[in-house]
Amino acid sequence: MVGVNSVLVEGVPNILSPLNDKHLVDRKDSIITFESETTEPGNIIYKRGHFKNKNNLKLVCQEWLPPHPKGALIIIHGYGDHGQTTLAEDARIFAKLGYAAFIFDQQGHGLSEGLQCYVESFDDLMEDSIIFIDDIQLRFPHLKRFIYSCSMGGAVGLLVSLKKPDLLNGGLILLAPLIKLDDTMVPNYYVVSILTLIASAFPSLPIVPGDNVLDRNIKDPKKREEHATHPLTYKGRARLGTGLAILKVTSHLQSKLADVKVPLFIAHGSEDKVSSPEVSKELYKASTSLDKTLKIYEGMWHGLTSEPECQIIFDDIIGWMSNRL
């Protein structure tokens, strides 16, 4: 691993300072240490805490617990993103509808520790997610578990489904999953070869050429600006090691489409210029799941739930989940 440091961003408070003993976990064997607990509208209990992964990195997590949860929604965010803004709002939407919602900032993202936006291997992200979901399963064994994954998080969600399909006893929701980058996002063969050589010595260098993904993510200019200027959103060029890890995992996933057997809800915008909607169609056709749904939303970009017409997406997802409880 490249040397790691806690991600402390100017303007964002360090929320991991110790609080008093009253914030207890639900089970004694939970891996999560909770630092705060509040009650939000609708009598929803909001908790913030952290857990540690195999490399002893502290990963910040949040959860929203309605009074009588009918299912568990585990959110896996995308590249350069975090669970502190848009996805926290998504979590609240589902919590108000009766779903316990959970999210953690992946290593090197948001408020979690790790070199910012550096991914050495997607196996690391998969293993962190399995640790997190395992804990939710132990604490809430009676709830159906749904993964709600966005972009790069979709790649992680697919890896989890291939490694431990039983963890997803509800299903896998894929929003613009990163199974294949849009062709315009990938440097040509010769550039990739040169960057691969440099990455062998300097994997954390942020010098991958190409457009900033933030400019292709969200259609609405105001929402795009809000997301791009948030202090926790990664704004630099992709690091060499991260870029190569993305190429590796997308190639791997394209070879495993037929092995995906869990219930699937796949959503993609027809105008997505980050990840390929055509490969979502291929996943739908190739998957051996007996329960699969594909929605292509005409004219929509990569950041589906930030679209002006996003309510139709939430309605489709909520209807799909309700039929599988």
Other C-beta atoms within 10 Å of 67: how many?
Answer: 9
Number of compact structural domains in the chain: 1
Residue 19 confidence (pLDDT): 32
Residue 5 confidence (pLDDT): 36
Any domain includes 318? yes
Q: Give the confidence band of 29 by pLDDT, cuts at 50, 70, 90.
A: low
Domain holding 241: CATH number? 3.40.50.1820
Any domain includes 149? yes
Q: What is the pLDDT of residues 289-319, one digit of tens each?
A: 999 999 999 999 999 999 999 999 999 999 9
Any domain includes 246? yes
Any domain includes 43? yes
Any domain includes 106? yes
Residue 226 confidence (pLDDT): 87
Q: pTM above the 0.85 mark?
A: yes
Residue 214 confidence (pLDDT): 82
Arithmetic mean of pLDDT over the chain: 91
> Contact at 8 Å (CB) between 247 and 187?
no
- Taking the C-alpha atoms of residue 125 and residue 129, their distance in angstroms, rounded to an integer, is 6
- Residue 101: give the domain boundaries: 33-322
Radius of gyration of the CA atoms of the chain, in A: 19
Phi, psi of 146 (to 5 degrees): -120, 130
Any domain includes 5? no
Residue 211 tokens read as: 């457009």
Query: Which residues are within 8 A (CB) of 272 and not within 5 positions of it... i.e. 6 or more apart?
Result: 176, 182, 300, 301, 302
HSE value, Cβ hemisphere, 13 Å, CA-based, for 168: 31
HSE value, Cβ hemisphere, 13 Å, CA-based, for 156: 30
Stretch among 7-21, 185-199, 229-243, 248-262 having the lowest mean pLDDT: 7-21
DSSP character string of 66-130: -SS-SEEEEEE--TT--SSSHHHHHHHHHHHTTEEEEEEPPTTSTTSSSSTT--S-HHHHHHHHH
Residue with tokens 């790069």: 152
Alpha helix segments (H runs only) across the chain: 86-96, 122-139, 152-163, 189-201, 214-217, 221-229, 240-254, 277-286, 311-322
DSSP class of 42: T
The stretch 195-216 carries a mean pLDDT of 91
DSSP character string of 223-253: HHHHHHHSTTS--SPPPHHHHHHHHHHHHHH
Residue 4 has pLDDT above 70, yes or no: no
- Taking the C-alpha atoms of residue 104 and residue 107, their distance in angstroms, rounded to an integer, is 9
Sheet holding 171-175, edge to edge: 33-40, 44-52, 58-65, 99-104, 71-76, 145-150, 171-175, 264-269, 292-297
Any domain includes 225? yes
Residue 159 tokens read as: 């890896």
Q: What is the pLDDT of residues 237-269, one digit of tens each?
A: 999 999 999 999 999 999 999 999 999 999 999
Any domain includes 126? yes
The stretch 173-183 carries a mean pLDDT of 97
Residue with tokens 């989890």: 160
